[in-house]
Structure 1
Amino acid sequence: MFELNKVYSRDDIHAAVGGNKASFLPAYRGKIVAACLRAELNPRAPEYIVCNSGAAARAAGYTLSRQMEPVPVFIRQEPDRYRFAGHFAVQESYTTPADCIPFIQGTGFTTQQISRVIRMCPQR
Structure 2
Amino acid sequence: MFKIGDTYTRDQIHTAVGGSKQAYIPTLDGSVLAVCVKTDLNPRAPRELLCGVGPIIAKSGALLASTPHKVPVFIKQAVNQWEYMGLYRVAAAYTSGPRFNAMVAGSGRSPNDVSVAIEMQP
Q: Which residue of 2 aligns with 1:90?
A: 90
State the Cα deviation string for residues 18-42 of structure 1 (Å, max 9, x = none): 0111111110121110000101110
Q: How many residues align?
A: 122
Q: Which residue of 2 aligns with 1:16?
A: 16
Deviation at 1:97, TM superposition (A): 5.1
Q: Which residue of 2 aligns with 1:79?
A: 79
Structure 2: state its 5+ residue gaps: none
In 2, the alpha carbon distance for the partners of 1:36 and 1:57 equals 12
Structure 1: state its 5+ residue gaps: none
Q: Which residue of 1 aligns with 2:63?
A: 63
Task: Give 4+ residue runs of structure 1 displaced > 6 Å after superposition.
Answer: none
Query: Kindly, what percent of the aligned residue pairs are identical?
Result: 34
In 2, the alpha carbon distance for the partners of 1:80 and 1:98 equals 35
Q: Residue 103 in 1 paired to residue 100 in 2?
A: no
Given the two structures, how large is their TM-score scaled by the length of structure 1? Answer: 0.93
Deviation at 1:102, TM superposition (A): 1.4
Letter aligned with residue 82 of structure 2: Y
In 1, the alpha carbon distance for the partners of 2:98 and 2:111 equals 9
In 2, the alpha carbon distance for the partners of 1:17 and 1:55 equals 23
Deviation at 1:100, TM superposition (A): 1.7
* Contact 1:97–1:111 (CA under 8 A) maintained in structure 2: no
Deviation at 1:99, TM superposition (A): 2.9
Q: Tell me how large the CA RMSD over aligned residues is.
A: 1.1
In 2, the alpha carbon distance for the partners of 1:98 and 1:17 equals 35
